[in-house]
Structures are given as structure tokens and as C-alpha cells.
Amino acid sequence: MVQLLEVIDVSAGATCCAPLVKEPLSQQDAGRLAVRLKALADPARLRLLSIVASSSDQEACVCDLIKPIGLSQPTVSHHLKVLTAAGFLTRSQRGTWAYYRLIPEALSSVTRMLETA
């Protein structure tokens, strides 16, 4: 499995970098963007993110994520950990279960750099 647990400063991403069609990316900016894209570039993680993101309040209990994804609980937890470390989700524990919520700014900071118009 991909080890990708470096924590990324989302707030820096929010103000950073012109779209790549406007000017060549610096090595540093390209490295940061690549780390985020790697976190997204997995079918199970994209599906998990989309279930969380399209849920009420853009939040979902891990207990509601395992069945639709059809993977084991440890695998789902690993993928959620990668998405959280990359700044796309926050995690909060409430009783038995962990809840994951989308950080929309993290996705926006990626789309801003890839936009063409």
C-alpha cells in the first residue's frame, strides 16, 4: 500500500500558485501538488471521498463507508488516513465511531492549479 502520511499545510495550498497553464510550476510547487494528486489517484479513495463529500454536511461515519466500498475495514481505514494526511478530510471520534468531513478548500486548491480558463 502507498505510504503517504506526510501532513500537508492546506492553508498554504489555498493561497499558493498560479494555474499551471499560466506559468511553469516551480519544483517545490510541483512536488506539493504531486503529493496531493497521489493521495487522490486511487479508485477506492476517490469513491470514499465522493461518498463523504456528497453526504449531508459533507460528513460521514466510517461505519457507513465500509459496505458501499466493499473493502475490509482496515483497508478503508488506511485509505481514509491517506486522505486525512493529505488534507482532504478531517477526522473526529465520537463514541465508537470516527467521522470524516470534507475540507472543500483542499480540493479547490488542487482544481485551481489545474484549471485551464
Residues near its own copies (CB under 8 A) are 20-25, 27, 30-31, 33-34, 37-38, 40-47, 49-51, 53-54, 58, 68, 102, 104, 107-108, 110-111, 114-117
Instruction: Give the residue with the Cβ less far from its own copies, 38 or 81.
Output: 38
Within 10 angstroms of residue 75's Cβ, the number of other Cβ atoms is 14
User: Is residue 37 within 8 Å of 83, Cβ to Cβ?
Assistant: no
What is the closest distance, in whole angstroms, from the C-beta atom of residue 17 to its own copies in the complex? Answer: 10
Q: Given the complex with its own copies, which of 30 and 93 has the nearer CB atom?
A: 30
Comparing CA positions, the residue from 14, 42, 17 lying closest to residue 107 is 14
Q: Which residues contact 13 (CB under 8 A, 6 or more apart)?
A: 32, 36, 87, 105, 106, 109, 110
Q: Which is nearer to its own copies, 67 or 95 (CB)?
A: 67
User: By C-beta, is 27 or 93 nearer to its own copies?
Assistant: 27
* CB 107 to its own copies: min, Å: 5
The three grid cell numbers given for residue 28, joined into one nine-digit string: 517545490
**Using an 8 Å Cβ cutoff, are 65 and 49 in contact?**
no
Nearest distance from residue 95's CB to its own copies, in Å?
25
